[in-house]
Chains A and B, each alone.
Chain A
């Protein structure tokens, strides 16, 4: 069974606008972590933001914020004030007690000037 679901097709966003990337997850664990990574065309995997299952506040890191809705099992990434350099594939991942990361299939974002 797929643990992380990212189903949005490729997204185009205007520079300086905000974009929301959807991520839903499936787990029966009480303790888990949710991560977002950015993969630009160069191929690196860049860590963006982390949310723990017990964290009451939504995580924020600069222009990135995570909209964590535990009851709905969703962990959407919000990128504010998009920049051309934000064009990339974005992966949502979950870490359960076994320490491995389970990744979704990714969301492609293209920022247009």
Chain B
């Protein structure tokens, strides 16, 4: 496909369950980013990768959150032992070369609801 894709688009889970959110970046894009967007707010940075290397994970809120990109393409954001406060839109973005002038293109997001 031409753009960033994410799956699932919607995820409802019970508190305490683990969830895995998938991101498929634009083909050839080196950098991949994860953001979280609460209702009525702008997205907040979680983590990013260049190729398969995680460059910055300082935005991950706690150790229940992890991300990987093992082959430098598809990435998975995993949330263990979900809590209600984890409910949000999780957005993935990718960019060509990961420099400060580089544009990040966003996927449609995964809406996570924790009951």
Contact = CB atoms under 8 A, between A and B. Distances in A.
B91 A98 contact: no
Interface of A: 4, 31-33, 35, 37, 43-47, 50, 52, 91, 93, 95-106
Contacts of B109: 43-45
* A37, A91, A105: most-surrounded residue (chain B CB, <10 A): A37
B42 A106 contact: yes
B89 A96 contact: no
A47 B101 CA distance: 13
Nearest to A52: B101
B87 interface: no
A99 B56 contact: yes
Contacts of B99: 99
A88 to B, nearest CB: 13
Nearest to B41: A105
A50 B102 CA distance: 9
A65 to B, nearest CB: 17
Nearest to B55: A99
B104 interface: yes
B33 interface: yes
27 contacts: A4-B42, A31-B100, A33-B101, A43-B89, A44-B106, A44-B108, A45-B91, A45-B93, A45-B106, A50-B101, A95-B100, A99-B31, A99-B33, A99-B48, A99-B98, A99-B99, A99-B102, A101-B35, A101-B43, A101-B104, A103-B42, A104-B42, A105-B40, A105-B41, A105-B42, A106-B41, A106-B42
A93 B108 contact: no
B105 interface: yes
A4 B55 CA distance: 23
Nearest to A97: B100
A14 B55 CA distance: 45
Given A99-B100, A100-B45, A103-B42, A37 B33 contact: no
8 A-B pairs with least C-beta separation: A103-B42, A45-B106, A100-B45, A91-B42, A103-B43, A33-B101, A95-B100, A52-B101
Contacts of B17: none
B84 interface: no
